[in-house]
Amino acid sequence: MRPPKQVIAVHVEEKAFDNYYNGCCNGTFWPLFHSMPDRAVFKSETWEAYCDVNRQFALSTLQALRTVVKQLDAEVKMDTIPVVWIHDYQLFVAATTIRQVIEEEKLRAKLSFFLHIPFPSWDIMRLFPWDDEILQGMLACDMVGFHIEDYCLNFIDCCSRRLGCRVDRNKMLVEIAGRTVHVKALPIGIPYDRFVELAETTPKFLKISDSEKIILGVDRLDYTKG
């Protein structure tokens, strides 16, 4: 059997992509989730484009999942459960479609979501007109991960106050639609030892005196960077 494709492209029409990415992701979620609501723009047009693109990603994911499950079944690996790992604020609601279809088709899979940016407090999150759909999309997963515990607790608080979910803040659990969603703090670091090794072994390209130092910083210009 030929191995399945490792990368599947999702082709999005140019205007829809602009509304989705520049309009909703960068124009709304980026400032809002960094607790800068005065910079956030709320437009139904960009939100609709966002949901449509998320659905496109979800449908492509489902097609790949069907292929993987079929291959596992052919290899008599029925106990192996594929994991769908969704990343970041560009795909908040993709899991809504994925969850609906895997339950309808009885596809075996575990869904996980990790957010690479902060998750704001309830007072900030409630400003977004469709906040319930974001929360429901994230809760369509079996596990939701954040960088730190504060973001976990913000998320759990929003689920409780906005959706009326039963929650356990100590064990970081949220109950919804007969399922229990695990919320975890999963800090992401860098390979520190490797960077130290590179810094110590890379040849010098400038000759400077012992009294001088060169400090190089590489980052994009962004109002959240200070």
Q: How far apart are CA 220 and CA 201, in angstroms?
A: 27
Chain-wide mean pLDDT for the chain?
Answer: 93
Task: Calculate the alpha carbon distances from 89 to 54, 104, 210 in Å.
Answer: 11, 26, 45
**Sheet strands side by side (includes 179-185):** 83-87, 110-114, 143-146, 179-185, 173-176, 166-168
Class of CATH domain 14-225: alpha beta
Where are the chain's structural domains? 14-225
The predicted-structure confidence for 141-182, as pLDDT tens digits, reads as follows: 999 999 999 999 999 999 999 999 999 999 999 999 999 999
* pLDDT tens profile 207-223: 667 777 777 777 777 88
Q: How does 92-103 read in b/e, with b if 16+ C-beta sit within 10 Å? A: bbbbbbbbebbe
